[in-house]
Amino acid sequence: MPSSAELDASDPLARFRERFVAAPEVAAYLDGNSLGRPLTASVERVDALLREQWATRLIRGWDEGWLELPMRLGDELGRVALGAGLGQTVIGDSTTVLLYKVIRAALELRPGSADAARTEIVIDRDDFPTDRYLVESIAAERGATVRWIDEGDVTPERVAAVVGERTAVVVLSAIAYRSGFLAEIPAITSIVHDAGALMLWDLCHSAGVIPHQLDAWGVDFAVGCTYKYLNGGPGAPAFAYVAQTHHDELRQPISGWLGSVRPFEMGQGYEPAPGIRRVLSGTPPIVGMVGLTDSIALIEEAGMDAIRAKSVDLTEHAIGLADELLPDAALATPRDAARRGSHVTLDHPGFEAIMPRLWERGVIPDFRRPTGIRLGLSPISTSFAEVELGVRAIAEELAAAR
């Protein structure tokens, strides 16, 4: 296995690390799949927004670009990282709110017939809690039924076993938040469509690190956050993708002024705006949104294929180091790179106890109960040396705790 130094020396993305704000007290940041590092340019852009645009232009800023920012940034994100044509991606609410809007809208689009009403929502039993909680809540709200995928990793075969004539919408994560398992998005989307249902992908752990072709894959809907691999900042607003074919019929449940056809007329009765803007509800969170501009530009400069290639190399390196230094830990992440996202989860009963010591040392991984340490490896900002330092620190602290 090549050394960390050799891998860093040959890394075509290494030059981008200097564009991120340095954190001198952090020796190894291995949690980029929870919160990405800030770009220096993003910090400067937010500062300029506060000091120059907000402070001097005041309310005039809305007419000078703010109002169109959700659609403009959405188009850029769609083009650079999602494989989405113009007018299909918008940035606005939190992930939870956008998921609620889109799941509800998808459920209403598939009413079915009297003989076979489409009243079932399919989801993975091990999906992220928010997704599961929302599906259960929406099912209760709308009199629908939840169909669970129970058997483990979400494969095409397991999806095919639960979808049918009563399925309205399938809600799945492209990458499993705990294990890092990467789903076969095109194959599963095709199976869902063959059953007459709609497909919604949660891209929180894949946007910005896995190349997507949402248009080409025929995906109906997608939602994802922007504060992980997209480096938008803590609580940065999420994005929603709605395929063009659904725009005219889509009715999302939170009817706000900005999503109406003529928002500044303040008229009686809600009529949705044409196109993707109908997904919006209230005033866009400009301060939380502007940090995305430089991150999207950086992703385009680096190239999604190069980002994915380094992601594979980083996770491969982490797994090799874990095999060597943590032989008692169980690997919860697929060894097959084609089925692996950009984080690696290791399980050991002693991991939870050593987390405070790791953080004291400036080694920042993530812990997922009951026994998992997650190494979130952001290809643009993470070095191979960081990965080795982190895995060695875990091994040292685990040995010291025995």
Report d(CA 302, CA 311) in Å as an integer: 13
Q: What is the pLDDT of residues 336-374, one digit of tens each?
A: 999 999 999 999 999 999 999 999 999 999 999 999 999
% of the chain at pLDDT higher than 90: 97
Of the candidates 333, 318, 295, the one whose C-alpha atom is nearest the C-alpha of residue 383 is: 318
Q: What is the pLDDT of residues 377-400, one digit of tens each?
A: 999 999 999 999 999 999 999 999
Average pLDDT over residues 239-258: 97
DSSP E strand boundaries for 281-396? 330-331, 343-347, 363-364, 366-368, 372-376
Provide the pLDDT confidence category of residue 116 given band limits of 50, 70 and 90. Answer: confident
Are the CB atoms for 387 and 4 separated by under 8 Å? Answer: yes
pLDDT confidence of residue 114 = 63
Is residue 209's pLDDT more than 80? yes
Average pLDDT over residues 125-133: 97
For the annotated catalytic residues, the residue numbers are 128, 202, 227-228, 374
Q: What is the pLDDT of residues 18-37, one digit of tens each?
A: 999 999 999 999 999 999 99
Query: Strand 89-91 to strand 239-242: parallel, antiparallel, or no bridges (unpaired)?
Result: antiparallel
pTM for this prediction:
0.97
Average pLDDT over residues 290-299: 97
Of the candidates 401, 396, 397, 378, the one whose C-alpha atom is nearest the C-alpha of residue 318 is: 378
Of the candidates 143, 152, 215, 165, the one whose C-alpha atom is nearest the C-alpha of residue 185 is: 215
Report d(CA 327, CA 52) in Å as an integer: 55
Of the candidates 317, 395, 319, 318, the one whose C-alpha atom is nearest the C-alpha of residue 357 is: 395
Q: Which domains does the chain have, with CATH numbers?
A: 4-39+303-400 (3.90.1150.10), 47-290 (3.40.640.10)
Give the CA distances from residue 394 to residues 10, 31, 51, 356, 362, in Å, rounded to whole numbers and listed in that order. 26, 14, 43, 11, 12
Is residue 89's pLDDT more than 70? yes
pLDDT confidence of residue 113 = 66
Average pLDDT for the chain: 97
Provide the pLDDT confidence category of residue 91 given band limits of 50, 70 and 90. Answer: very high
Report d(CA 268, CA 53) in Å as an integer: 33
pLDDT confidence of residue 111 = 82
pLDDT confidence of residue 1 = 80
pLDDT confidence of residue 54 = 97
